[in-house]
Amino acid sequence: MEAGVKALNASGGLGGKQVRLVSCNDQNNPNQIALCARKMVTQKVVAVVGGVMVNGPTATQILQPAGIP
C-alpha cells in the first residue's frame, strides 16, 4: 500500500491532491480495533481499505457515524 500511495502521489495524486496512508494494526482485538477506528475518525480519513477485520462491527459502529466507508 505504501508503494502504491507513493506512486500515486508521484503522478500527481488524486485530483491534484496528495494522498496520505494512515495505518493501524487491530491485532484481532475488539478493544484495539475500536482504538484504530477512533484514530481514523480523528485523522479525518476519507475511507478505510484493505485487510480483514475480524471484529468489523466494532469498527463500523465508530466509522459509520463519521461517514467513513
- Please state, in angstroms and rounded to a whole number, the distance separating the CA atoms of residues 27 and 4: 23
pTM: 0.79
The pLDDT value given to residue 3: 96
69 residues of the chain, pLDDT tens digit each: 899 999 999 999 999 999 999 988 888 888 999 999 999 999 999 998 876 666 778 889 999 999 999
| pLDDT reported for residue 58 | 87
Residue 41 burial class via C-beta count within 10 angstroms: exposed 0-12, middle 13-18, buried 19 and up:
middle
Rounded Cα distance, 13 and 38, in Å: 26
CA atoms within 13 A on the CB side of 3: 0
Domain limits, the chain: 25-69
Residues in the chain: 69
